[in-house]
Amino acid sequence: MFDVFSTKIQGIFNKLRKKGLLSKDDVAATMRELRVALLEADVNFKVAKEFIGKVSEKAVGVEILKSLNPAQHVIKIVKDELIEVLGGDIPQVKIESVKSILLLGLQGCGKTTTSAKLAYKMMKKKRHPLLVGADPYRPAAKEQLQILGKKINVPVFTDGKTAIETLNGSLEYAKEHKCDCIIVDSAGRLHVDNELMDELKVLKQRLNPEECLLIVDGMTGQEAVNIASTFEKEIGISGVILTKLDGDARGGAALSIKMVTGKPIKFMGIGENIDQLEPFYPDRMAQRILGMGDVLSLIERAEEITNSEEAKSLQQKMLSQKFNLEDFLLQLKQIKKMGPLEQVMGMIPGFSNMPSGMKVDEKQLVRTEAIISSMTILERRKPEILNGSRRKRIAKGSGTTVEDVNRLIKQFDQLKAMFGNITKMSGKNFKGKRMPQMPGFFR
């Protein structure tokens, strides 16, 4: 789904992730690339402009400088804005309780198929819907609905010479047969025309539906947005169902409809089969587009952990060079809490621009923990007292070698010295300077 857009945006982010700290120019370049990606996905140009405007505004804010990893922060801002554009928090159609639905749309957009899909969802909730075919002009339309109804065991009502006559008849039928929801499938036209709109207005007024859903073909891009605007203005809709998203729809319609029409997408059709209709959740869609569901929850976890008092005092200690091996052990444990190391590493500044091929070794981490655990409290707090015999004892106790112990202590010293330098540079000019290897992660 939205593969081209998704690949493009993920490529932009991968480039961004490789950078440690971001300059204003980096952010500006990313915004330009994002804008192109949006326009290429056929997103409405005003929506694209607003999107970029909002993201840029947030991305140059102070938060970025304070954050753990600026690239991840920009990505999070884009993700949040993407959710907003896709509709934010959408009131879902209540399949368990909704009593009346009117489906509208142009010819061939998928109204009849979708009406059956909705009825099928209700059947699974043990409800008794009635499918109404308010398209009395085409015999084939009645037949299509009847075939679908039969397949899912839902009654279908199609009698009547006009659409309104059919609707009136169906209301009687529903009462008699104790149907608890009426789903009205209306006739489509090739273009929006007065006749179609007038008929729909009458149907809507008579049914007064709880949900008046416009079906639009997701493949039509901006045309879908124009159609949605017209229907919203002329008839008034409660939401949109985008169909045919299983094809190569570019995403423009999904990303523009809410902003342009003010009405949310409530479902998406992802295939011709009766069960291929999914509720539309903006957050899940955003994550799908960004291909980063897990990474985002990782960021959230990292944020939680780095915001803890423990983490704050640790940072304080690191910058004041009072950082010792005991603190380091604590930090290792915090990092482990975040999840698989491979993923976590990319979020730590200095590691995101790790040379390719350099793999994080989980076993090494275990070894490091074992080494520090074999030290006495005093040794952890004052690593300078670690002489030859102490190192030998620690190696034996942790099942490692003296070389392993030496390497860890050397790397730790370098790290500590580097934090000292950062503090001296008051955090200003150290862009581009690479961090030394974090002790205990690599051999």
Ligand X SMILES: Nc1nc2c(ncn2[C@@H]2O[C@H](COP(=O)(O)OP(=O)(O)OP(=O)(O)O)[C@@H](O)[C@H]2O)c(=O)[nH]1
Q: Which CB atom, from 112 or from 170, has the smaller least distance to Mg ion?
A: 112
Among 112, 170, 256, 411, binds Mg ion (CB under 5 A): 112
243 binds, among Mg ion, ligand X, none (CB under 5 to 8 A by kind): ligand X
Q: Which stretch binds ligand X (CB under 6 A): 200-208, 270-278, 302-310, 359-367?
A: 270-278
Q: How many chain residues touch ligand X (CB under 6 A)?
A: 19
Q: How many chain residues touch Mg ion (CB under 5 A)?
A: 2
Which of the residues 327 through 366 are near Mg ion (CB under 5 A)? none
Residue 107 binds ligand X, judged by CB under 6 A: yes
Residue 142 binds ligand X, judged by CB under 6 A: no
Q: Which stretch binds ligand X (CB under 6 A): 5-13, 263-271, 358-366, 392-400?
A: 263-271
Residue 105 binds ligand X, judged by CB under 6 A: yes
Residue 362 binds ligand X, judged by CB under 6 A: no
Smallest gap from residue 179 Cβ to ligand X (A):
21
Smallest gap from residue 253 Cβ to ligand X (A):
13
| Sign of the dihedral defined by the CA atoms of residues 35, 83, 15, 66, in that order | positive
Q: Which stretch binds ligand X (CB under 6 A): 45-53, 107-115, 311-319, 401-409?
A: 107-115
Q: Which stretch binds Mg ion (CB under 5 A): 17-25, 109-117, 282-290, 359-367?
A: 109-117
Residue 44 binds Mg ion, judged by CB under 5 A: no
Residue 269 binds ligand X, judged by CB under 6 A: yes
Residue 136 binds ligand X, judged by CB under 6 A: no
Among 63, 272, 300, 304, binds ligand X (CB under 6 A): 272
Contact residues toward ligand X (CB under 6 A) are 105, 107-113, 141, 188, 243-244, 246-247, 269-272, 276
